[in-house]
């Protein structure tokens, strides 16, 4: 960067530059403001592409300290070329305007996504974790500490990819390159997600980012950070002294290995904390292998940077061989139960209150607010990518695209059918809800969780139609598989149905028990 302009040339504070032309960039509209810079959506005229332009705020343009920090941010971010990191295209200044032109990510950040959808299901959460950890592994590799990992800085694209944004607080840690600039009066980092060593003002290394990422994962899985308080100091003290409530106590449906991994990132002492982001990528993959087994594709986002380390794991090699086999042959042997598959639907758990009111008043919708309008859904490279893309929108078209393009992948097509059942129940379209319940029941003994969900959904749909007799018959079939249902929302709905159907049950249960005898659950009758 060149010598800063004289203060007489400093632009007016808070000026909206929308509509201005800065060199090759046409500023279209202001997207937001940060502590140091404003961000604009811009068109790079020569390449005809949209970019995000970060422009140093006017009040800092004549201050060498801020210009130096801005330059360090650009250097740190530009050194990180990775699929899961927002890319820097150009750095420079035109007249008095200092800017960074970077990749424009279409989508929303994780904070906004959580506020709208609640915690993601476990496959979705693991995908986010894998990709963010891969980005942090790349940052550590080139000696960069992000220092502000939080949900707002994790971007979820409409295609299912995840990108880490805003290296505005990044610090270079390569030999003799550590930068010690301190912005007086502004805390570096966000108190809700700061590491203990960051709170204490100690030197930081990539393990600080791991702690902040652990807090972010905890927030993602639970719906709120592990610590809260009325002041930043109150939160900071908890990072130093208080242990977070065990994840397994809040989310017993989560895979135990996932809970252990998150808590290993939240250890107070850096020396005892999870050692590196590379280790997190490996552990996430192990969780996916253990609970995803042969259904897990090998070429998923976030694995490329560590690909050289995987062949030594015999489970990886076996998965690769099975992956090739499954392209032409459907696996017929019974599949073991997988905790992460059972967790589908937790993203909708925050709607339980609405569900209670739905049955009480018979009018209220289960879903709070309409889902974001989704574009058409072309075929993704893998079933998981198709499913994760559908998770971004939660629309009928999105879920149907999984079934349409990957009908032979029972894992993800089953997940999509579950979501369609919930969607149709919300729309009071019990006919289509019952149809997909029948498809889930028809998946048979290899997928007991789907069968249980199907019978449970059928009991709820009939209860909504006020056909308590059929609802109770479906509930009787579901009770034989109740232990296999791990979906928290559907469990709550079934509990409501049981209460609502109690008078009918007292009449029907003796005859139902006599008819059922020792029979296995019946095949779904035509709807």
Q: What is the pLDDT of residues 118-127, one digit of tens each?
A: 899 888 999 9
The confidence band for 437, taking pLDDT boundaries of 50, 70 and 90, is very high
Angle at 443 between CA 442 and CA 444, to 5 degrees: 85
- The pLDDT of residue 152 is 92
Per-residue pLDDT band for 511 (boundaries 50, 70, 90) equals: very low
Backbone angles phi, psi at 496, to 5 degrees: -65, -40
Cβ–Cβ < 8 Å for 345, 358: no
Predicted confidence (pLDDT) per residue in 398-425, tens digit: 899 999 988 888 888 898 999 899 889 9
Mean pLDDT in residue range 274-280: 93
Taken as a whole, the chain contains a residue count of: 527
The CATH fold assigned to 107-326 is Transferase(Phosphotransferase); domain 1 (1.10.510)
Instruction: Return the pLDDT at 374.
Output: 42
- Give the domain ranges of the chain: 7-103, 107-326, 345-516
Residues catalogued as catalytic: 148
| Correct CATH for 345-516 of 3.30.70, 1.25.40, 1.20.120, 1.10.3470 | 1.25.40
Is the domain spanning 7-103 CATH 3.40.50.2300? The answer is no
CB neighbour list of residue 374: distance below 8 Å, 6 or more residues apart: 392, 393, 395, 397, 398
**pLDDT above 90: percentage of residues in the chain:** 36
Point out the least confidently predicted range of 21-35, 118-132, 181-195. 181-195
What average pLDDT does this structure show over 89-106? 87
Distance from CA of residue 199 to its chain's centroid? 27
| pTM of the full structure | 0.62
Assign 205 a pLDDT band (cuts: 50, 70, 90).
very high
Q: Per the structure block, which two tokens stand in for 115?
A: 């506020």
Average pLDDT over residues 184-191: 51
Per-residue pLDDT at 304 exceeds 90: no
Kindly indicate the confidence band of residue 40, based on its pLDDT and cuts at 50, 70 and 90.
very high
- Whether 488 shows a pLDDT value over 80: the answer reads no
Predicted confidence at residue 295, as pLDDT, reads 47
Residue 451, Cβ neighbours under 10 Å: how many?
26
The string of DSSP codes covering 349-399 is GGGHHHHHHHHHHS---SSSSPPPPP------SSHHHHHHHHHHH--HHHH
Choose between 88 and 431: higher pLDDT: 431
Give 496-517 as a 3 state SS string.
HHHHHCHHHHHHHHHHHHHHHC
Q: Chain-wide mean pLDDT for the chain?
A: 75
Q: Is the pLDDT of residue 504 over 90?
A: no
Tell me the mean pLDDT in the region 507-513. 45
What does the alpha-carbon distance between residue 159 and residue 141 come to, in Å, rounded to a whole number? 27
Q: How confident is the model over 333-383, as pLDDT tens digits?
A: 334 344 444 444 443 333 333 333 333 333 322 222 333 444 456 778 888
């Amino acid at each position: 960067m060149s010598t800063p302009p004289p203060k007489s040339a400093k632009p007016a504070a808070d000026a909206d530059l929308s509509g201005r032309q800065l060199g090759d960039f046409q500023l279209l509209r202001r997207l937001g403001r940060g502590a140091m810079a404003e961000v604009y959506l811009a068109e790079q005229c020569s390449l005809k592409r949209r970019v995000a332009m970060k422009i140093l705020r006017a009040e800092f343009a004549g201050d060498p300290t801020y210009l130096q920090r801005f330059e360090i941010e650009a250097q740190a971010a530009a050194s990180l070329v990775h699929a899961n990191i927002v890319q820097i295209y150009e750095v420079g200044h035109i007249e008095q305007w200092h800017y960074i032109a970077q990749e424009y990510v279409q989508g929303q950040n994780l904070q906004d996504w959580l506020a709208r959808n609640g915690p993601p299901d476990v496959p979705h959460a693991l995908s986010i974790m894998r990709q963010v950890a891969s980005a942090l592994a790349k940052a550590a590799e080139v000696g960069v500490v992000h220092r502000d990992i939080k949900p707002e800085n994790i971007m979820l694209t409409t295609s299912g990819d995840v990108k880490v944004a805003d290296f505005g607080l990044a610090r270079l840690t390569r030999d003799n390159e550590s930068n010690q600039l301190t912005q007086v009066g502004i805390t570096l980092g966000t108190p809700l997600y700061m590491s203990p060593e960051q709170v204490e003002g100690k030197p930081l290394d990539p393990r600080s980012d791991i702690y902040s990422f652990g807090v972010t994962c905890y927030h993602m899985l639970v719906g709120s950070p592990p610590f809260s308080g009325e002041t930043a100091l109150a939160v900071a003290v908890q990072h130093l002294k208080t242990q977070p409530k065990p994840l397994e106590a809040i989310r017993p449906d989560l895979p135990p290995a996932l809970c252990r991994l998150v808590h290993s990132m939240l250890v107070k002492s850096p020396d005892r904390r999870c050692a590196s982001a590379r280790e997190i990528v490996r552990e996430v993959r192990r969780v996916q292998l253990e609970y995803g087994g042969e259904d897990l594709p090998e070429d998923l986002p976030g694995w490329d940077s560590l690909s050289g380390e995987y062949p030594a794991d015999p489970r990886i090699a076996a998965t690769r061989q099975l992956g090739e086999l499954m392209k032409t042959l459907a696996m017929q042997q019974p599949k073991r139960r997988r905790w992460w598959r059972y967790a589908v639907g937790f993203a909708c758990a925050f709607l339980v209150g609405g569900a209670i009111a739905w049955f009480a008043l018979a009018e209220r919708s289960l879903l709070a607010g309409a889902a974001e309008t989704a574009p058409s859904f072309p075929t993704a490279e893998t079933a998981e990518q198709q499913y994760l893309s559908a998770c971004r929108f939660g629309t009928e078209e999105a879920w149907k695209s999984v079934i349409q393009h990957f009908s032979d992948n029972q894992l993800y097509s089953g997940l999509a059918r579950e979501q369609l059942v919930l969607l149709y129940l919300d729309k009071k379209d019990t006919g289509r809800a019952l149809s997909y319940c029948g498809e889930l029941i028809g998946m048979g003994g290899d997928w007991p969780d789907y069968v249980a969900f199907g019978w449970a959904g059928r009991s709820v749909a009939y209860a909504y139609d006020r056909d308590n007799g059929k609802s109770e018959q479906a509930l009787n079939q579901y009770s034989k598989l109740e232990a296999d249902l791990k979906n928290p929302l559907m469990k709550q709905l079934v509990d409501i149905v049981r209460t609502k159907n109690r008078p009918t049950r007292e009449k029907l249960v003796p005859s139902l028990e006599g008819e059922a005898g020792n029979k296995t659950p019946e095949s779904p009758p035509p709807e």
